[in-house]
Chains A and B, each alone.
Chain A
Amino acid sequence: MLRQLYNVTVGDIKKMTRPILWTIAANLANMFPFGFMVLAVKVIYEYYATEQTVLNMPLLWSFWGGMILFIALVFWCEQRSYQAVYRGAYEASAQGRARLAEHIRQLPLGFLLSKDATNLGNMIMNDFQQTEDAATNFLPQVISGLVIPSLSFLGMLFVDWRLSLAMFAGFPITLLILGAVRGLERKFGTSHSEARLVQANSLQEYLLGMKVLKAYNLRGENFQRLERAFYRFMKESIKLEGALGPFFIVAIAFMQAGLSFITMVGVYLILGGSLTVPIFALFLLVGTHIFDPLTVAIMRLPAFKYNALAGERIVTLLQQPLMTGKQDSPPNHDIRLENVTFAYDQKVVLDDVSLELPAGQLTAIVGPSGSGKSTVLRLIARFYDPQQGQLVFGGSNQRELDPEKLMKKVAMVFQDVYLFQDTIRNNIRYGRAEATQAEIEEAARQACCHDFIMKLPQGYDTMVGEGGSTLSGGEKQRISIARAMLKKAPVVLLDEATASLDPENELEMQKAISRLIKGRTVIMIAHRLKTVINADQIIVLDKGKVAEQGKHEELLVNNKLYAKLWNLQQQTSGWRIPSACKPVY
């Protein structure tokens, strides 16, 4: 129970103390009107039992007065608890979301890339919504369901311990059953959560892949995978609802049988003369009330635990280690890889690679696909820490540097440009938050975007679609260069775009890149070897190892992999439509 509470509150139980205390207070207050009623019934019974001559009406009326008084108190407490519960839960989840989002940001990017990004988005949304539900709907009911009966039971023990025990005679069995199904509950809950996740992912895929789906006639009912995911989720939902139900029903039945036990034991005792009628009546009345809150609590428990699973996922993610390092980044920007080995899961991508990337120089990295080019850039940007060896940035081990300060030194222009659903101005402003409009425009001019931006309906205030969907590839690339330009970072990491742009875009891109790298330390992945023949140094990677390195001419003389690639590219230099496509009538 405590663990669930910990998970539901995402590790911050204290937040829920106030709501829980108010809920308990409201429930306690609620016991008083009932208590007065029970007293009134007792007085009436005593009147008939002892053949008193006068029914003590003033006393009875004063009981009623007490009920009214306490109902006012109940009302007040209920209001407080309502506020505390809902506000508390919403506040907790807003803060929790922000905390999780902030935590995700500080994780190594590699970790984020390894997980499906959808799952994380899912976590921020659905999982927090579930913990919210648990905290608002279930928590108060579960807690009040436990507090009131326990207190009543303790109180009733003093009145008559035999009937009290009879009342809860079935309860140990209830607990046993509930304990026994815990494993089952977890099993069904987990597979239901999985089905939910599969559904979420398939749906995301369906929406993002819509074009392909349409083109291959897979849309709608033909898209079986999504349909299967919906179907599986339905099955799992029904299973979760149905499989555990009988256990809970039996558990509740054992508990509620207490009412029958009271009657039987009461009859036995009263015939034996060791129980008075008013006490018996009192127990019967309490017996009609005491099990309901417990029943509600038990019925709510599975849902509560299920939602706590969502909290558990969040807590697990929050426990992922953050990137380490506190040092300021050093003033110089020589970069060195020393015996770096790196693997994604099991697949070794860089194998004992050592490189010198001197400051102020242009280093090109070339090689066949899968040779580890992108990984080198990602390591320099510290998306990951290498498993073996180290990266030395300006003389310090990169692991010791504060990742955020390191990031300030590095600008990246990668192939997959992600623009945010925001104005173009703000998208460029990500480069430097405090940049003025003049600076933004200057950066845009330098990156050859100003002209096309001005042609857009709202100029710099034009909204960009999700992921940049409303702009062409070349335009997105140039905006990402403008961002990098604005950032003024001394180290520029470039991944030459492989997707071809139309000639005018291509030319503009090239101008923009030339301006961006001016006076900076540049490490660039080149796909077209011609682009980088002037580089200070060309590093040729092959299957995760450095095959050769040197200047263009030296490498040609070497006559190894580079020379081979160069010749191959000279031959093709952009594919042509072969003559085979000419009409064949």
Chain B
Amino acid sequence: MRLLKSETGLFRLIELAGEKKALMIWAGIISTVSVLFLLIPFIAVYEVMAELLKHAADTKKIDSSLLITWALRGGLGMILGYFLMYIGGMLGHIAAFRILYGIRVRLADHLGDLPMGFFNKNATGKLKKIIELDVEKIEIFIAHQFPDLINTVVMLVLMIGFMFFLNIWFALASILPIVFGFFIQFSMMAGKKAHVGLKEYFDALEEINTSSVQYVKGMPAIKVFGQTVHSFRRFYQDMLNYQKFCVQYTDNFQNSYVSFRVVVLSLATFILPVGLFLLSGDPQNVAFAITLLFFLVIAPGVSTPIFKLNSFASSLNIIAEGVKRIDRIFAEKTIAEPQKGQKPTSFAIEFREVSFAYDAKESVEVLKKISFTAPPGQLTALVGPSGSGKSTIAQLLPRFWDVKEGSITIGGVDIREMKTKDLMDVLSFVFQDTFLFSDTLYNNILIGKPDATPEEVYAAARAAQCHNFIAELPQGYDTVIGEEGVYLSGGEEQRVSVARAILKNAPILILDEATAYADPENESQMQVALQELIKDKTVLIIAHRLTTICEANQIIVLREGKIDDMGSHRDLLSRNSLYQSMWQAYTTSEDWQIGELGKKEVPV
């Protein structure tokens, strides 16, 4: 993927705009021409007023056809100006929205290539905020600020030339305030004060994003435990913080913003004294008066476009900070993809001296020099207390993370030498946390093999014991999960995910056995479904209920990231103390009956 660009701020934004260079150039040219056309009405008014002034004493001499002509020219200029403004604006917006679309697609793509660890560290709310809001803000720069900046500068250069040609003093009087205004904007943009609180502002925004998602998702718990918005975590505090930083940030810009506004609004105040001064020396000179008029009339024509830049500095900084956060995601290292991928031809899994820690900086290793082989077509079970690393092993195989040391091979091929697509093609999973997309059940199963025929999908659903309950739903396979109050039970969801895996029919199956959903009908149906699924496959199963795996070809007992022992159920039961105690705990828990303990002590 792309590396982090070293540019930040304005230059990085211009770089982003450059992605649609042709559109941007046309947008700039057309909007500049439009601004010039929009000056025509002012020039027309000036021409009319000059004519009026020349013949103020004798109105009969006024050339009425000239005035009418100018009136029409002014109107036409205005219409053309707005028309071009629309065209230029549209080009700019098309460029902007395409660029945003491109950034979003690239971001999503990049996120897909990141190791799962990234998602454990970065809350969904925060990532969402970056992809939605921070990206959205770039539009303002590309579609508005950038063309505005260009056309203002072009217009100013032309105006300055023309003004100096007319009269240097008036020119100075109108230019200086504008230069001053620009100076304010850019000094604010670069100034230290502008960045004070900006980071906090963004952090605060990400914080409320995260806590609002939690607030909504954790609502059952919040209600049960009588939390209010004021007592819930730091949610209320986050909101107040956000407010505080917003106020602080805008306060920073208060004086410059107001000064800019007032100065640009009062061009006439600067021009008038110059005119009066010149006029007082030579009151008879109509030419002076006419020039004065020109400047007074044209002033609002000049200041209106400049005005668009009034919050240029403050919003540019906000946009740039957002882009920084976007770039930070792009800078995250993806899982490396090999140049030339190899494909395994056989499907034995081998772990060779594998060590792994979730956090590269952390010294706590979850797996310590693990070596084992899961032979093809056989069933290998992983057991061990929680935290022993059994789930981690299953997560390393699809490269959700990469090993720290050692290697994992499939059919002798290091999984890092395989293209992700090829790797995923040989693996299928049934996870503990099933995830169904809010799409039709049909499509949820189809994920297993996107080019499957309907017959194949139904067959997989039948094999996974889903067909019957799906057929009973109002819309059958076209039922969308979550709509019209249709939700599946945990067991049903799990069988859908089994159907996916059956459809995929990959040679290696990784089974995280929360699949043993305990209600009786599910249990027997799951058994049938899994029987179908594991046929002739290399199966790696993370087992919790030991009965599940009594008959596994090989059981690996893990303890604190190391292999404690491996063998068959019978062997382990006879020699391994950890396995014995787990078996003991298991049989005790199987016989548990609620109420035995509880009932006796119930006071009547």
Contacts and interface: CB of A to CB of B under 8 A. Distances in A.
A527 interface: yes
B240 A33 contact: no
Contacts of A281: 49, 52-53
Nearest to B482: A116
A91 B250 CA distance: 13
B74 interface: yes
B171 to A, nearest CB: 18
B243 A94 contact: yes
B269 interface: yes
Interface in A40-54: 40-41, 44-45, 47-51, 54
A60 interface: yes
A226 B492 CA distance: 26
Contact of B52 (A234, A280, A473, A487): A280
B82 A574 contact: no
Contacts of B378: 581-583
B331 interface: no
B400 A582 contact: no
B172 interface: no
Given A55-B283, A431-B225, A48 B57 contact: yes
B268 A33 contact: yes
Interface in A209-257: 209-221, 223, 225-227, 230-231, 233-234, 237-238, 241-242, 245-246, 249, 252-253, 256-257
A49 B235 CA distance: 70
B265 A263 contact: no
B394 to A, nearest CB: 11
A270 interface: yes
A117 B228 CA distance: 18
A264 B120 CA distance: 71
B603 A519 contact: yes
Contacts of B357: none
A75 B100 CA distance: 38
Nearest to B115: A214
B547 A574 contact: yes
Interface string A397-423: 000000010011011101100101110
A577 B108 contact: no
Contacts of A526: 594
Report which residue of B101, B239, B292, B518 has the largest number of chain A beta carbons within 10 angstroms of its beta carbon: B518
Interface residues of B, number: 208
A524 B381 CA distance: 33
Interface stretch (A175-183, A307-315, A438-446, A494-502): A494-502
Contact of B283 (A47, A209, A277, A533): A47
B254 interface: yes
Nearest to B425: A217
Contacts of A120: 216
B113 interface: yes
B379 interface: yes
Nearest to A264: B71
Interface string A60-100: 11011001100100110011001100110011011001100
B270 to A, nearest CB: 10
Interface in A8-63: 30, 33-34, 37, 40-41, 44-45, 47-51, 54-55, 57, 60-61, 63
B573 interface: no
Contacts of A211: 116, 400, 431, 433, 435
Nearest to B429: A215
A161 interface: no
Interface string B62-79: 101001101110110011
Interface string B123-137: 111011101110000
Given A517-B598, A532-B595, A216 B379 contact: no
Contacts of B219: 104-105, 109, 112, 117
Nearest to B254: A82
B589 A510 contact: yes
B239 A97 contact: yes
B128 A207 contact: yes
Interface stretch (B7-15, B184-192, B531-539): B531-539
A543 B307 CA distance: 68
B435 A404 contact: no
A242 B59 contact: no
Interface residues of A, number: 206
Contacts of A487: 225
Given A48-B289, A60-B276, A234-B101, A344 B485 contact: yes
Contact of A214 (B94, B112, B301, B517): B112
B536 A361 contact: no
A575 B523 contact: yes
A263 B230 CA distance: 63
A54 to B, nearest CB: 8
A368 B521 contact: yes
A521 B236 CA distance: 35
Nearest to B530: A575
B387 interface: yes
Contacts of B586: 503, 506
Contact of A475 (B210, B246, B255, B386): B386
Nearest to B586: A503
A142 interface: no
A571 interface: yes
Interface string B227-245: 1111101011001101100
B52 A579 contact: no
Given A102-B228, A575-B527, A584 B42 contact: no
A437 to B, nearest CB: 18
B265 A220 contact: no
Given A37-B272, A431-B225, A565-B520, A257 B78 contact: yes
Given A101-B215, A205-B438, A221-B109, A584 B536 contact: yes
Contacts of B182: none
Interface in B97-116: 97-98, 100-101, 104-105, 108-113, 116
A191 interface: no
Given A48-B289, A264-B68, A64 B119 contact: no
Contacts of B131: 203
A153 interface: no
A502 B82 CA distance: 71
Interface in A545-585: 565-566, 568-569, 571-585
A230 B71 CA distance: 47
B330 to A, nearest CB: 13
Interface in B253-269: 254-255, 257-259, 261-262, 265-266, 268-269
A369 B519 contact: yes
A351 interface: no
A78 B516 contact: no
Interface string B376-407: 01110101111100000000001010000000
Contact of A503 (B72, B429, B536, B585): B585
A186 to B, nearest CB: 20
A360 B258 CA distance: 70
Contacts of B101: 230-231, 233-234
B432 A473 contact: yes
Contacts of B145: none
B598 A522 contact: yes
Contact of A109 (B223, B268, B448, B539): B223
B132 A199 contact: yes
A44 B474 CA distance: 84
B216 A124 contact: yes
A114 interface: yes
B577 interface: no
8 contacts: A203-B128, A215-B428, A360-B602, A370-B489, A404-B226, A469-B120, A470-B120, A507-B589
A-B pairs with the 10 shortest C-beta distances? Answer: A219-B112, A344-B485, A534-B595, A220-B109, A263-B71, A220-B112, A503-B586, A260-B75, A49-B56, A575-B527
Given A345-B485, A515-B597, 11 more contacts: A48-B286, A94-B239, A210-B112, A215-B431, A216-B424, A217-B421, A260-B75, A266-B67, A292-B300, A368-B519, A582-B551
